[in-house]
A = this chain, B = another copy of it.
Amino acid sequence: MTEQIARTEKQLGAILRRVRKQAGLTQGGLGDRIHLRQGTVSRLEAGEPAVQLRTLMAALSALDLELVIRPRTKGSAADIEDLF
């Protein structure tokens, strides 16, 4: 389970939360490392779509994670229009 796929902001947030907990960190503790408020970390983990990229990257960095982009593997390519 060392490789997790996120196709939505919520999934992404859930992954981050899982990793953070596993690292024995609190939202506040993580926030301290990357100069983000605890409340901001909360929003990131909640999967709010409007958080900024810098917030995500900072969290990834602090959790020693990396982001991989690759072509979608299984599942059909969702019909984009359905998202709106």
Contact = CB atoms under 8 A, between A and B. Distances in A.
Interface of A: 2-9, 12, 15-16, 19, 33-35, 48-54, 56-58, 60-62, 64-73, 77-78, 80, 83-84
A51 B53 contact: yes
Nearest to A79: B61
Contact of A57 (B49, B52, B71, B72): B49
Among A53, A60, A62, residue most surrounded by chain B Cβ atoms (within 10 Å): A53
B64 A71 contact: yes
Contact of A69 (B15, B51, B54): B15
A80 B15 contact: no
Given A64-B72, A65-B72, A66-B70, A57 B5 contact: no
